Structure 1
Amino acid sequence: MNALSDADALARATAALSHPGLVRIISDIDDNGPLQRHLLSRTLTGLPRQQLRHATAAGRALGLLRTRTHGGTPALVLTSAGKELADVYDTAARWARTHHYPCDVSDFVTRVQATLTLLGTAGGEAPHAPQAALASWVRDHAAALGYPLTGTSPDEMQLAA
């Protein structure tokens, strides 16, 4: 792929990874451990069932989530790719909070979404820590996204057209 293709692929990847339900599920499991499937809507309040279903299906399809029995009950757990993505989300949210991005009173999901959107469109002006974290994750897990990138280091990966 050429640089333009890589930028397009990364923009699509950031769009897939910034789904609000996916951000919430990945972050909740990372913070609190396995999430019982029958408690999804009670645990992740404010997300409609359809959004939860979509996020769960996307998480499985991307190799981020799997179902395991936890305490005799089916529960969602993170794969290694999911754990690494949770670290990317934390890095993005931490940068956004420090820089009051997109605004002073943004919540975690909004910060992650806004930062991923910025990374998908900002090119060389992207914030370094989140850019490096995302570039590393995409480089390691691009096949699961269906958007293989050619860059081999964060500096070589172009994050925008």
Structure 2
Amino acid sequence: MPDLPASHRLRLGRFAESNRIYLLTTNTLGRAPVFKDFSLGRLIVSQFRHAQNQGWAISLAWVVMPDHFHWLIELQQGSLSELMQKTKSLSTRSVNMATGRKGSLWQQGYHDRALRREEDLVKQARYVVANPLRAGLVEKLGDYPLWDAIWL
């Protein structure tokens, strides 16, 4: 295997399939808690909606945490790499415009996990949206503003 940084090794052999369900995760640069400001987190939510409106992916569940997001999607067109590149690029631009900051917002790369349709997708969605509870950010899921799931 070539001597590549871990973020580049993640891309080797990555295959994306339309109509397949994926759990995607990415972190902010240096795990900075940018989205403690919920108004900035709403900008990420807007990108999830934009991806769906463009026909790139169907959002099944998501949560925007202070320093990362989890996004359960059904890929519709293009590749995961294209989807994540567009989402990260457009969200960086939105956050930078809103805050006057410059430069990168996200760490390179992302984590993806393909799910089989037989897997309990509702269980995966609950896992995604329960992140704020497990992190101790709220006592009740409904108290956290940056999540959604089509089943809940």
TM-score by length of 2: 0.30
Q: Which protein has the bigger strand share?
A: 2
TM-score by length of 1: 0.28
